[in-house]
Each structure stands twice: as C-alpha cells, then as structure tokens.
C-alpha cells in the first residue's frame, strides 16, 4: 500500500479534511473607506462580497476593516483590531505604504496575506493582484498622442496626493511616453485628495491661467470627474483630450457627455474577487498561488461604457 501511495504521488485532500472538521475560515480585508477616492473603493468591495457569497458554502467568512486613506494612524488602528482576532488570511490595499509596513511587521509571521490595487516595495505578499501601473501610464500617453488636437502645447499630469507606489508608476509611464512628443511639454499639477471642489477649481484655474495653451489632461486616479467638472464649467471652445481612471458613476456621466474622452479601467471589482479566491485556494485547498495576477488594461469610451456597467 505504501509503495502504491508513493508511486501515485498521493496527497491528502486538505479541503475534504477541513470539511470533515467543520472548520470555519476567517479572512480579514484591510481597505480604505468605501466613500473615499470618489467612491472608488466600492468597486473592489463589490468583488470581495461576490467571492464571499460564492464561497459561503465552503465556510469562508470575510470581515472588513476600514481605514481613512489620508490618515497613517487610521491604518495602524485597523491593524491593531485585526491582531485581536484569529484570522486565516488577509487581503489588503496598501495605499499608505509606511503604515502598512508597520502593520505587517506586527502580524503573525505565518499569516498569509495578499495585496491588491497597490504594493509596498520590499514586502513580498503571497500574491499581488493588480494592473501594470507603468504600462497603463504608457498606454495613456499613446492615447493622448494619437488623439490630441493641437500641434503643440502643454499636457497637465494631475497627481492626486497622497500618492502611493502604483500612482507614481502611472505617472512615470506617462511621462516616459510623452517625452518624445515634439512641441509638447508635460507639467505635473498636484491636488490634495481631501481638497474641496472650490479648492480644486482654484488650483486648476491658477494653473490654466499660466498655461493657456493646454492641449491635454491626464488624471492619475478616480478623481478624473473633479477635473472634468472644472473644465466643463469653463464652457471653453478650446479642445483638449482628457483621460483618467476608473468607471465610477461620476466619471461615467462625464464620459457619456464626452467631457472625458477616455477612462482606463483596472478591473477593480475583479481584483477584490481574485483576492479572496487566492486566499481560499492557498489556505483551504493548499494550492500554489501565482505571485502576480495582473489585470487587463481596458480603454473605455462613451461608445463601450454600457458594457462595463453591471
């Protein structure tokens, strides 16, 4: 019998064993508050909840720990709450890398964790699920170049603060692409993510008065609609290309009326969904998980946005 087992490469069915023991698996999710970043985080939360519902019969439970993405201390407080409970895995969006480094250092060394949306250099999770940020920035620069109306002018790169590593990589990719645009100059414009609409408009208007030859705007996150609302309110006959990220309702509305020309989708709902399944496959099924699960870089326009709405 032992010889047959050895020859056939028999492995214990971990899932069946856990099912017999009636074990419940608890996964923690560390994520910004849903309403922040223009309600962007509702997208991955939707995917997480869909995965949780599908895996409920396998005794998978998910508990959310929300933090203020503009407050380092908020991440640390959420991390302390996670420590008080016994979890089998962690899914996290590490948008404040310094605080996340501290949180992960305090967690049990054998706790498997998965990153999605962003990452922290120097920290190796079980898996990272997200988009190639540099390549998406590079793609955005190609879109800009192929559709821009003027023969020369300024291109505004709107950097929303505080930025994380994947936002910085988007900017790097875009700037790498536009460096060969003859006659064009790229200028980075910083906007506080917590700024009021009035403050944002003032910031953008000040920039515009100094750069009246504006030919394009690249917004690096879901706040694209706030920039588009400013431009639409100007009622200017000047044509420019405005592109940004994420099919959230406010962006979709302005995409449909063609104030926004393009949105880049990073398949955020899928990222949350894949994150829970990665933990399930590793913890419950004992499977090996890919270190990087890269999501597609989708270009969304008014003509195809209806196919991205659930």
Q: Give the list of residues 6+ apart from residue 292 with CB closer than 8 angstroms, or none.
A: 127, 128, 129
| Res. 309: pLDDT tops 80 | no
CATH number of 2-131+268-295: 3.40.50.2300
| Res. 103: pLDDT tops 70 | yes
Instruction: Identify the residue whose tokens are 């326009």.
Output: 301
242-269 per-position pLDDT tens digit:
999 999 999 999 999 999 999 999 999 9
The mean pLDDT value for 113-126 works out to 94
Domain residues of the chain, as ranges? 2-131+268-295, 133-265
| Res. 228: pLDDT tops 80 | yes
The mean pLDDT value for 223-231 works out to 96
- Please indicate whether the domains covering 2-131+268-295 and 133-265 agree at the CATH topology level: yes
134-186 per-position pLDDT tens digit:
999 999 999 999 999 888 999 999 999 988 899 999 999 999 999 888 999 99
| Res. 26: pLDDT tops 50 | yes
55 vs 309, which has greater pLDDT? 55
Instruction: Identify the residue whose tokens are 């250092």.
Output: 105
Q: How many CB atoms lie within 10 A of CB 224?
A: 30
Peptide bond into 162 cis (omega under 30): yes
Would you mind telling me the total number of residues written for the chain in this entry? Answer: 310
As a whole number of Å, the CA-based R_g of the chain is 22
Any idea of the CA torsion for 143, 146, 150, 154, to the nearest 10 degrees? 40
Burial of 60 (0-12, 13-18, 19+ CB in 10 A): buried
Cβ–Cβ < 8 Å for 186, 214: no
Name the nearest CA neighbour of 279 among 23, 80, 41, 62.
62
Mean pLDDT of all residues belonging to the chain: 92
CATH number of 133-265: 3.40.50.2300
| Res. 55: pLDDT tops 70 | yes
Q: How many CB atoms lie within 10 A of CB 13?
A: 12
């Amino acid at each position: 019998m032992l010889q047959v087992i050895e020859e056939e490469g028999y492995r214990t069915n971990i899932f069946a064993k856990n099912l017999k023991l009636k074990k419940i698996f608890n996964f923690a999710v560390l994520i910004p508050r849903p309403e922040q970043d223009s309600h962007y985080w509702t997208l991955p939360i939707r995917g997480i909840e869909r995965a949780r519902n599908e895996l409920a019969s396998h005794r998978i439970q998910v508990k959310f720990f929300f933090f203020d993405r503009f407050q380092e201390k908020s991440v640390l407080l959420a991390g302390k709450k996670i420590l008080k409970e016994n979890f089998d895995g962690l899914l996290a969006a590490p948008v404040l890398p310094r605080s996340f480094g501290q949180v992960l250092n305090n967690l049990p060394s054998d706790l498997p964790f998965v990153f999605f949306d962003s990452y922290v250099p120097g920290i190796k999770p079980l898996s990272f699920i997200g988009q190639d940020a540099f390549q998406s920035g590079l793609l955005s620069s190609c879109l800009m170049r192929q559709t821009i109306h003027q023969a020369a002018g300024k291109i505004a790169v709107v950097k929303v603060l505080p930025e994380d590593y994947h936002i910085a990589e988007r900017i790097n990719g875009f700037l790498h692409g536009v460096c060969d645009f003859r006659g064009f100059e790229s200028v980075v414009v910083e906007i506080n993510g917590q700024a009021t609409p009035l403050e944002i408009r003032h910031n953008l208007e000040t920039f515009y008065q100094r750069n009246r030859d504006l030919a394009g705007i690249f917004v690096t996150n879901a706040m694209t609609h706030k920039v588009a609302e400013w431009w639409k309110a100007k009622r200017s006959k000047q044509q420019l290309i405005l592109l940004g990220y994420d099919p959230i309702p406010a962006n979709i509305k302005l995409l449909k009326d063609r104030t926004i020309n393009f949105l880049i989708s990073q398949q955020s709902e899928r990222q949350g969904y894949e994150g829970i399944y990665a933990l399930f496959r590793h913890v419950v099924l004992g499977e090996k998980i890919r270190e990087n699960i890269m999501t597609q870089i989708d270009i969304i326009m008014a003509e195809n946005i209806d196919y991205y709405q659930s």
